[in-house]
């Protein structure tokens, strides 16, 4: 009696002969080359395979492949063609709602275009980013979309050296070969500050991170520039705190405690996380908006909407960042983009609360 191994018992497929592309060709009555065309084709926007094969024949090949249980060897196909139909997206924290929304949109549009998107988080560590870049290069990705952290220049130059098209989002680093889809963060910081100045506040402060990434330094510049233009240069104060959650929470509480003594009237909180630390500090210290402080926050949150009128907040075009960064990367992969089209700048909008209980309205300065 033949012995049956544990692997064969728990995985009957392991006892079967592996189905090859030649088996599919023989069963479908076509050439191996034709099967290869079909199995390697991208799906077009009209739902049809983008390959030089009669649609009925292509459908027959796909049916045979499915019936026989044929599985395409993606790694081998990638090595043969040099195309993996995959891209990598590296952000600082994929759990951050800002990046999560961008990644969700990127995944959908990449899929529709026939690409697989691989996502990863650098956690603001240049060492981890370098490891992720090496891993993605090993996966033979065709392109990279990345939100660089401070100190990531070496890792990103590695990508350029091996010829992988790269698009930067949210933050910038030097390099003319990068594509860029960036929000005008100087304008965003300016809008937030000018609104508070127009409301009659003079003692306006900002809480930021020590990260040194361009998205934040640009917002800081917009804040400082607006304060100076309003004749409030002596009142400019930017508190830079650690990115680590527990330390940031405690630091924000102490900043608010001290600000209350100094007569601070308002804060610009340039990320959603910093805004949450601000609300937490209000609760801990028993303070209220707008009695003790006024805020201008960033991004969207249910907490802003719970307040009536809605707390002023700067909204970034997240869906547009995802769409435009993928479109630009695809054009770079296909070498269909000019140097003038490599840099895309997007605008934020400032959302105000309107009258009590009314719908939010958009402001402009």
What digits encode the pLDDT tens for the residues 331-348? Answer: 999 999 998 899 999 999
Lowest mean pLDDT among 3-17, 170-184, 302-316, 331-345: 3-17
Q: How far does CA 8 lie from the centroid of its chain?
A: 43
Whether the Cβ atoms of residue 132 and residue 146 lie closer than 8 Å to each other: no
At residue 56, the pLDDT reads 86
At residue 74, the pLDDT reads 55
Whether the Cβ atoms of residue 187 and residue 347 lie closer than 8 Å to each other: yes
pLDDT of 303 > 90? The answer is no
At residue 354, the pLDDT reads 47
Domains and CATH numbers, the chain: 6-72 (1.10.260.40), 85-183+319-346 (3.40.50.2300), 185-316+350-363 (3.40.50.2300)
Whether the Cβ atoms of residue 294 and residue 197 lie closer than 8 Å to each other: no
Q: Six-digit token pair at 343?
A: 């840099």
Q: What is the pLDDT of residues 86-104, one digit of tens each?
A: 999 999 999 888 999 999 9
At residue 358, the pLDDT reads 44
Check residues 350 and 8 and name the one with the higher pLDDT. Answer: 350
Q: For a pLDDT cut of 90, what percent of the chain falls above it?
A: 59
Q: Six-digit token pair at 187?
A: 């304008």
Who contacts 99 (Cβ-Cβ below 8 Å, separation ≥6)? 91, 92, 93, 147, 170
CB-facing half-sphere around the CA of 116: CA atoms within 13 A: 11
Q: Calculate the average pLDDT of the chain.
A: 86
At residue 300, the pLDDT reads 87
Whether the Cβ atoms of residue 350 and residue 300 lie closer than 8 Å to each other: no
pLDDT of 137 > 90? The answer is no
């Amino acid at each position: 009696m033949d012995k049956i191994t544990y692997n064969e018992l728990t995985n009957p497929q392991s006892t079967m002969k592996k189905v090859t592309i030649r088996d599919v060709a023989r069963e479908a009555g076509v050439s191996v080359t034709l099967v290869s065309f079909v199995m390697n084709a991208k799906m077009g926007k009209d739902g049809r395979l983008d390959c030089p094969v009669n649609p009925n024949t292509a459908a027959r090949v796909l049916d045979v492949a499915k019936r026989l249980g044929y599985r395409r060897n993606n790694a081998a196909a990638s090595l043969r063609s040099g195309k993996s139909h995959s891209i990598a997206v590296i952000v600082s924290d994929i759990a951050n709602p800002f990046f999560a929304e961008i990644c969700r949109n990127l995944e959908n549009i990449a899929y529709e275009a026939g690409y697989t998107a691989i996502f990863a988080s650098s956690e603001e560590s240049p060492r981890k980013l370098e490891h992720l870049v090496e891993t993605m290069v090993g996966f033979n990705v065709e392109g990279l979309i990345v939100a660089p952290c401070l100190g990531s220049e070496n890792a990103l130059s590695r990508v350029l050296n091996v010829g992988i098209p790269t698009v930067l989002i949210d933050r910038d680093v030097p390099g003319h070969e990068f594509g860029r889809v960036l929000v005008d963060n100087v304008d965003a910081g300016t809008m937030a500050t000018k609104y508070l100045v127009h409301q009659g506040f003079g003692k306006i402060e900002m809480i930021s991170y020590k990260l040194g990434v361009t998205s934040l330094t640009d917002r800081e510049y917009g804040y400082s520039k607006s304060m100076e233009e309003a004749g409030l240069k002596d009142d400019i104060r930017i508190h830079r705190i650690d990115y680590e959650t527990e330390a940031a929470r405690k630091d924000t509480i102490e900043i608010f405690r001290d600000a209350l003594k100094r007569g601070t009237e308002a804060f610009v909180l340039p990320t959603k996380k910093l805004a949450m630390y601000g609300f937490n500090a209000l609760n801990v210290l028993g303070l209220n908006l707008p009695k003790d402080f006024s805020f201008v926050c960033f991004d969207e949150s249910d907490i802003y909407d719970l307040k009536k009128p809605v707390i002023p907040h700067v909204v970034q075009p997240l869906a547009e960042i995802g769409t435009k960064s993928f479109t630009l990367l695809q054009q770079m992969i296909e070498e269909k983009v000019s140097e003038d089209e490599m840099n895309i700048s997007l605008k934020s909008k400032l959302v105000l609360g309107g009258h009590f209980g009314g719908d939010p309205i958009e402001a402009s300065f």
